[in-house]
Amino acid sequence: MPRVDVELPSVLTGLLGVPRVVPVEASCLADALRELSELHPTIDVHLFDETGGFREHVLCFHNETNTRWLDGTDVALADGDRITIMQAVSGG
């Protein structure tokens, strides 16, 4: 099973006390996100809406590709891939 790193936004890591980079073993993006949730369940409410999709202000990248441009989360992963999660932050 491929080992990939999930990089989380620092605003969440500080708030929830989770590591900035979480290594997971998963064959596809959906499985990697599921494993992230199992390892750190407090993160779910910040990333996912009630349908299980990403919240509107959350972006997820598989390597350099925005996952919103993909046909779903059944994207195959390879050893060393990187999943980067970002949150839009606004204010004045």
Encode pLDDT of 5-17 as tens digits: 999 999 889 889 9
In terms of DSSP bridges, do strands 82-87 and 3-7 run parallel, antiparallel, or are they unpaired? parallel
- Report the predicted TM-score, pTM, of the whole model to 2 decimal places: 0.89
Using CA atoms, how far residue 20 sits from 8, 13, 17, in Å, is 5, 6, 9
Encode pLDDT of 39-82 as tens digits: 999 999 999 999 988 999 999 999 999 998 888 788 999 999 99
| pLDDT for residue 92 | 63
- Domains observed in the chain: 3-87 (3.10.20.30)
